Every structure is written in structure tokens, then in C-alpha cells.
Amino acid sequence: MVAFALAFAGSIAPAAMSAGLNPGNAFSELAGGGQETTPTTTTTNKTTTSSASTEPTNSHTVALLALAAAAVLLGGIAFVIVRDARKVAPAGDPDAIERGSARESAARLRRRRAKAKAARQQRKRNR
């Protein structure tokens, strides 16, 4: 899940960083990228064509598809977790569960007392 979040943030970062850069800043002038392209118009046989530089933009549909994919992925993870939790959870009467746990604690107490008694007898023998 963390890897997915980092991948999603990494895909957004270049667009955010390029949005803050304009072609007229000092760094691009030093790097030689300061020349701006101007629209040119050529007329040939009454046909006018113009070309202008356009910057690529991210489409909203790509962002929405990524968001939908994230929601589906998180929903699938939640479904698997809930399914596994229900498999492990005890099913049946809650009163029977409480009685069983009381029996288990009594048996656990008997075993602990028996071990303590055996340890005391062992210590007496080793004196």
C-alpha cells in the first residue's frame, strides 16, 4: 500500500514541478532554454497554417482512472482482510464461548499449580 502511494505521488510530482517553471526564468535563460517560440503563419494558395508551441497537460480522465484503480485496490484489500477475520472468528453461541474460556482458564491454572508443585519437590530432592 505504501509502495502504491509512493508510485501515485511520483506520477504527480513531475507535473507539479513543471507547472512552477516558466520559460522566462533565469535558470532556463542560463541553460539556453530561454528562447520562446512564436506562432508562425505561412500562407500558400489561400491555405493558412499556424503552429504554436503547446505544453503537454495531464488529462482529468487519467487522474480519475488512477483514483478509481486506487479505490478498487483498497476495497479488495479490505474484502480480503474481513474475509480472513471472519474465518478465524469463533462462530456460535457467545455463552458457550464464555464457558469454554472459563474451562480453559481452570485447566491452565491446574497445569500451572502442578508444575509449581513438581518444581518444589525437585528443589527439595536437590538439597
57 grid coordinates: 497537460
**Per DSSP, what are the bridge partners of residue 44?**
47
| Residues 121 and 101 grouped into a single domain | yes
Given a cut of 60, whether residue 48 has pLDDT beyond it is no
DSSP one-letter code for 41: E
Decide: pTM greater than 0.75. no
| Residues 85 and 65 grouped into a single domain | yes
Q: Are strands 47-51 and 40-44 parallel, antiparallel or unpaired?
A: antiparallel
Domain presence at residue 36: no
Measured CA to CA, the distance from residue 17 to residue 12 in angstroms comes to 9
The SS3 call for residue 106 is helix
Given a cut of 90, whether residue 79 has pLDDT beyond it is yes
| Residues 103 and 117 grouped into a single domain | yes
CA dist 2 → 6, 9, 14, 24, 107 (Å): 6, 11, 19, 38, 44
Domain presence at residue 1: no
Domain presence at residue 6: no
Domain presence at residue 42: no
Domain presence at residue 37: no
Given a cut of 80, whether residue 72 has pLDDT beyond it is yes
Indicate the pLDDT class of residue 38, thresholds 50, 70 and 90: low
Domain presence at residue 74: yes
Domain limits for position 120: 91-127
Tally of domains within the chain = 2
Domain presence at residue 99: yes
